[in-house]
């Protein structure tokens, strides 16, 4: 039997030829060049992101405008025309006595309380009581805590 010898390829390249020559070596970029390249890459990525998100931004902007218009329209539809409040009606009816009366809308949830600041006298008391009755109210006799009440509604 004959032994097969591995064949050795002969190379025509000499060891000097195998090494890259100085001009063929790629120079290592400086730190500044690496930073500039990174910034350029980021800039390109930002441009691509803008292109990607531009249609979405347009859709959301248009949708927000429509929602704002709808909200404003509903708000305008729900605006109640100012109606003179019961308190303003009571004050108007008792306008000549406002300097001697105190109006309290906080103490009761359902009633406007009208308390005299001083002794009213018979004539003023009679006139005030008549006006209060016309407004649907009553007089509550309770000594120093005496007062008139008019329903808020």
Provide the 3-class DSSP secondary structure of residue 113.
Answer: strand
Q: Binning pLDDT at 50, 70 and 90, where does residue 47 land?
A: very high
Query: Terminal CA-to-CA distance of the chain, rounded, Å?
Result: 124
The tokens describing 70, both together, are: 């709808």
The tokens describing 106, both together, are: 């906080």
Alpha helices of 6-149 — where are they, by DSSP H? Answer: 15-18, 31-77, 86-93, 122-134
pLDDT at 26: 73
For residue 96, give Cα distances in angstroms to 88, 100, 101: 14, 9, 10
Contact 107, 145 (CB under 8 A): no
7-31 confidence digits (pLDDT tens): 655 556 565 655 655 556 678 889 9
The mean pLDDT of the chain is: 84
Q: What is the pTM of this model?
A: 0.46
Measured CA to CA, the distance from residue 51 to residue 78 in angstroms comes to: 42
Contact 112, 105 (CB under 8 A): yes
Mean pLDDT of 63-82: 80
Q: Binning pLDDT at 50, 70 and 90, where does residue 138 land?
A: very high
């Amino acid at each position: 039997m004959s032994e097969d010898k591995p064949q050795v390829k002969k190379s025509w390249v000499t060891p000097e030829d195998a090494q890259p020559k100085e001009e063929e070596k790629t120079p290592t970029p400086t730190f500044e060049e690496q930073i500039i390249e990174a910034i350029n890459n980021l800039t390109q990525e930002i441009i691509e992101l803008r292109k990607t998100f531009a249609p979405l931004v347009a859709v959301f902007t248009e949708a927000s405008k429509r929602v704002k218009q709808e909200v404003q329209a509903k708000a305008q539809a729900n605006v109640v025309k100012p109606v003179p409040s019961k308190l303003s009606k009571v004050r108007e009816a008792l306008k000549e006595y406002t300097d001697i009366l105190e109006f309290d809308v906080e103490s009761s949830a359902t009633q406007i309380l009208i308390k005299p600041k001083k002794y009213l006298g018979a004539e003023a008391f009679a006139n005030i009581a008549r006006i209060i009755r016309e407004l649907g109210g009553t007089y509550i006799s309770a000594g120093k805590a005496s007062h008139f009440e008019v329903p808020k509604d």
